[in-house]
Amino acid sequence: MKRFIYTLVSLIVLTSLLAGCAALKEPNWAKLEVTSEAEQFTDGSMYTTAETQMPEYVKGEGRDDSRFRDAIVSLKSMQPVKRILIRRRNEDVVAADLDIYAMIDKEWKLIKEIRGIESTDIDVKISTTRTDKIKIRAQRATRTASGKSAVASGAQGAGGRRIGNDPGAAERLLREPLKFAEIEVYGISEEPVEQQEKK
Residue 59 falls within a domain, yes or no? Answer: yes
Give the global pTM: 0.74
**pLDDT exceeds 50 at position 142:** yes
Residue 136 falls within a domain, yes or no? Answer: yes
**pLDDT exceeds 50 at position 153:** no
Contact 41, 180 (CB under 8 A): yes
Between residues 9 and 33, the one the model is more confident about: 33
pLDDT for the residue numbered 195: 40
Pairing of strands 50-51, 96-104: unpaired
- Evaluated on CA atoms 151, 83, 110, 106, the torsion sign reads positive
Average pLDDT, the chain: 80
pLDDT for the residue numbered 14: 61
pLDDT in tens, 15-31: 655 555 444 566 799 99
Residue 20 falls within a domain, yes or no? Answer: no
Residue 107 falls within a domain, yes or no? Answer: yes
Between residues 164 and 73, the one the model is more confident about: 73
- List the domain range (segments joined by +) for residue 111: 28-189
Between residues 196 and 100, the one the model is more confident about: 100
**pLDDT exceeds 60 at position 199:** no
pLDDT for the residue numbered 172: 79
pLDDT-derived band of residue 197, with 50, 70 and 90 as boundaries? very low
Residue 16 falls within a domain, yes or no? Answer: no
The total number of structural domains in the chain stands at 1
- Evaluated on CA atoms 77, 83, 89, 93, the torsion sign reads positive
Q: Domain of 178: which CATH number?
A: 2.60.120.260
Contact 67, 173 (CB under 8 A): no
User: Which segment, 46-60, 104-118, 145-159, is predicted with the most confidence on average?
Assistant: 104-118
Residue 8 falls within a domain, yes or no? Answer: no
Residue 18 falls within a domain, yes or no? Answer: no
pLDDT-derived band of residue 131, with 50, 70 and 90 as boundaries? very high
Residue 159 falls within a domain, yes or no? Answer: yes
